[in-house]
Structure 1
């Protein structure tokens, strides 16, 4: 069984020693060579990397690799991992691929529907174009696509390992969607981040396509290797500023980073939710300070602060989902949480039900929670 896993990269990195992992420079037609295999030979779309991101590498594998039984896609800093948290070996994959059609990432559970989250981070016109094209090209696939897009799960990273035959089938399905969307959109008017539209949308389409095809899927852990996660860097800097009580500076720092890299807040980047918790901490601190109190442990370190907010959010989510018990009620009665901390959590998670959830907390816990 010949397995080749192509590690998509746009920069030098520490290549895994296993020769099964092959570095592939994406967008190499428009960037200086790194000394790796390039995606601008043979039939390719390398010059369109600004729209496709790692998908130019995926396209190259589809059109130019003919000597592998199984192929995979990973990133220079994201890899599918085994149960022990290590990068897969060839022997492990040979065993797994006897039982599964495809290996990919764990599903991400989003706070909102994929449709809502995508339109917030991109535009409704982008998703309308995808909707139009998918309905036209794949009418049998379209109903499942419409159903899942209104739910709150997705794969991320375009990480996958499967037979070359199945990989080719997926690419034959995927790339015509984007070629036809391109005729409907003016992507050259977008900034560099939003131009990479197809790379983002394809993560969700992989999830729906595997279900549509009835594939047996092995969902794997994803590990970060090599260069440090940009989101993690922002979290650590904000925590450092919190420790010095420089909360306003932390907020300003986040906004400057977010302007350059809107993707740092996406679930695929903020996998553990720590950046979202930092922003929640800022909001709570601001409201408490405005009303002459400070209960949130903003200066007491990562574990204390995140644990404090996670327990609060769990209780609020239990009320929203009507799965609460005495423990959740007591947590919200506990004086360690201010009305403003609870109000911020309710606003984050209750959406249109904010008023109803505040009324429920009033009934259950005898606490008046303001509407923010």
Structure 2
């Protein structure tokens, strides 16, 4: 069984030592050459990368690469992981693919329906037209499209490993839909680079439609992240600057603007350390402190790294307490830092559960951690 997994990239990276992985520079058309295979040779749509994202790599493989029994795709920072949280070996893929039609990511569980989430963050017209085209060209897929688009699951990342034949079938189906959608919508909408990648976003969901209608046997697994995105690091550095200056208003405005343009920054695939979610919690805490006329926590500590450590410990204590475990050592750490009751309250409110349960947990922790307003 021969397997080739194409690692999509737009920058230099440390290539996995396993020769099964082949770097492919996507969106290479008109860009600097990185010395890898490129998606603008032969038949290609590399020039449409701003709309199709990593799908220009899919198209290049489909049209130009005809070797190997099995084809896979991943990203220079994202790889499928085995049950030991290690990158799969060729032998492991061989065993899985004897039993399964495809290996891909775990499904993302959304807070709302996929349709509502797409509508909130993108131009919903593109998704509506996609449904129309599927109904016309592939009516057997349409019932699953309608049902799933109003459900709360999707795949992400366009990361998969499957037989070359099934990969070709999927690409034939996918691109015949998108090329028709492209004729019916206006791509030149003036949106930023992130929101332009409409086909890249929709394709993540369409993979779920494809495997569902085809009744494929799919092995779903975690995705491992190697390193942190430069964009994520930049957001954290700017927030750290705002915190150091005790500029709460500036930090809020910057973070909201960032989320408007890049709502994906809070996804686990981007926020690998969880520090952007912790930053949201810091901002929410200060908002409550301001409303109640209390000193904001930045008056006590404005170092980003220290705040991240403090809120990590706090969230750990809260989670353990909810499960009936009291960690006296960590509680002592929080007492020493003299955290406010609002820090505790916001941390508790982030948990799932009834209001009554949260109130009991808050009262218990407030008594344990602070005997008076700090």
TM range (shorter): 0.7 to 0.9
Give the match's secondary structure for 1:187: coil
Give the match's secondary structure for 1:275: helix
Give the match's secondary structure for 1:8: strand
The two structures have a TM-score, normalised by structure 1, of 0.79
Summarize the Cα distance change of 1:125–1:336 in structure 2 as closer, same or farther, 3 Å threshold. Answer: farther
Aligned residues: 330
Summarize the Cα distance change of 1:260–1:145 in structure 2 as closer, same or farther, 3 Å threshold. Answer: closer
Question: In structure 1, what is the equivalent of residue 331 of structure 2?
Answer: none
1:143-162 mapped onto 2 (5 Å cutoff): 143-162=143-162
C-alpha distance in 1 between matches for 2:348 and 2:215: 38
Question: In structure 1, what is the equivalent of residue 50 of structure 2?
Answer: 50
C-alpha distance in 2 between matches for 1:224 and 1:231: 13
Summarize the Cα distance change of 1:113–1:236 in structure 2 as closer, same or farther, 3 Å threshold. Answer: farther
Give the match's secondary structure for 1:16: coil
Shift of 1:270: 4.3
Summarize the Cα distance change of 1:182–1:262 in structure 2 as closer, same or farther, 3 Å threshold. Answer: same
C-alpha distance in 2 between matches for 1:113 and 1:274: 26
C-alpha distance in 2 between matches for 1:102 and 1:295: 51
Would you say the 8 A contact 1:239–1:301 is kept in 2? no
Summarize the Cα distance change of 1:239–1:32 in structure 2 as closer, same or farther, 3 Å threshold. Answer: closer
Give the match's secondary structure for 2:35: coil
Unpaired stretches in structure 2, ≥5 consecutive residues? 316-343, 368-374
The two structures have a TM-score, normalised by structure 2, of 0.79
| Mean Cα deviation higher: 231-240 or 174-183 | 231-240
Deviations 1:288-313 (A, max 9, x none): 31221369799563254251555422
Question: In structure 1, what is the equivalent of residue 73 of structure 2?
Answer: 73
C-alpha distance in 2 between matches for 1:295 and 1:255: 20
Question: In structure 2, what is the equivalent of residue 21 of structure 1?
Answer: 21
Deviations 1:201-253 (A, max 9, x none): 11111122112211111111111114536335534653675477443332243
Would you say the 8 A contact 1:108–1:268 is kept in 2? no
Please point out which of 283, 303, 307 is paired with 1:301: 307
Question: In structure 2, what is the equivalent of residue 2 of structure 1?
Answer: 2
Shift of 1:281: 3.6
Question: In structure 2, what is the equivalent of residue 287 of structure 1?
Answer: 288
Would you say the 8 A contact 1:239–1:302 is kept in 2? no
Give the match's secondary structure for 2:34: coil
C-alpha distance in 1 between matches for 2:245 and 2:104: 41
Summarize the Cα distance change of 1:27–1:56 in structure 2 as closer, same or farther, 3 Å threshold. Answer: same
Shift of 1:187: 0.6
1:331 aligns with 2:354: no
C-alpha distance in 1 between matches for 2:290 and 2:296: 9
1:158-307 mapped onto 2 (5 Å cutoff): 158-191=158-191, 192-226=193-227, 228=229, 230-231=231-232, 233-235=234-236, 238=239, 241-242=242-243, 245-255=246-256, 257-258=258-259, 261-265=262-266, 268-270=269-271, 274-293=275-294, 299=301, 301-305=307-311, 307=315
Deviations 1:147-181 (A, max 9, x none): 11112111110000111111111111111111011
Question: In structure 2, what is the equivalent of residue 31 of structure 1?
Answer: 31
